[in-house]
Structure 1
């Protein structure tokens, strides 16, 4: 089973592409047809399909077909989980990972 760090690192890797970040921003306004998304970029439909596949594979985007067109929307549950994960990583909390073990330097201090 993949750890929360492995799962989320795949999502962050997917978001490491500026075009994919822009796609997420576009989808934050609501569901969009592939043709509407494509209007915001200077790349081809196959390139858009690749970006959408990456975003769907990591669970941030969902797709439904309507005729010959694909309609995409954010998976808000997974998006919210990602935001919470990042907030927990950068915020000291009671269940912080560093509180799971005693600091090595405290145990091996040099006098």
Structure 2
């Protein structure tokens, strides 16, 4: 896992927004990210694939749904960079708006992935 690969993956705004949300919430479904970022599922999935290829994220399937979390084998320096980044941007738009939009997602816990 090279620093260049990590920072290249995080250099895109959509990917950074996804990682910040996942870092804050622990695990998110593709449908939650499409709702919050107001982007089409194929676009979100493409960005998540790039983050997964960089070994920043790992996924798990639950039926038809795919959930993403930070990769469990991230080196300490990467975790520290992500924690510092989240701390630094959590009150800055669009990151604070993303967190708020996720909290406002209707019936999120009951029907987590009916939006896909």
Q: Does 1:82 align with 2:78?
A: yes
CA apart distance, 1:76: 4.6
TM-score, length basis structure 1 = 0.64
Count of equivalent residues: 80
Question: Which structure has the bigger radius of gyration?
Answer: 1
- Please tell me whether the aligned partners of residues 60 and 79 of structure 1 are also in contact (alpha carbons under 8 angstroms): no
CA distance in 2: counterparts of 1:71 and 1:49, whole angstroms: 11
CA distance in 2: counterparts of 1:48 and 1:79, whole angstroms: 25
CA distance in 1: counterparts of 2:36 and 2:80, whole angstroms: 29
TM superposition outliers: structure 1 runs of 4+ over 4 Å: none
CA distance in 2: counterparts of 1:27 and 1:14, whole angstroms: 15
- Please tell me whether the aligned partners of residues 34 and 69 of structure 1 are also in contact (alpha carbons under 8 angstroms): yes
Unpaired runs of 5+ residues, structure 1, are: 86-111
TM-score, length basis structure 2 = 0.62
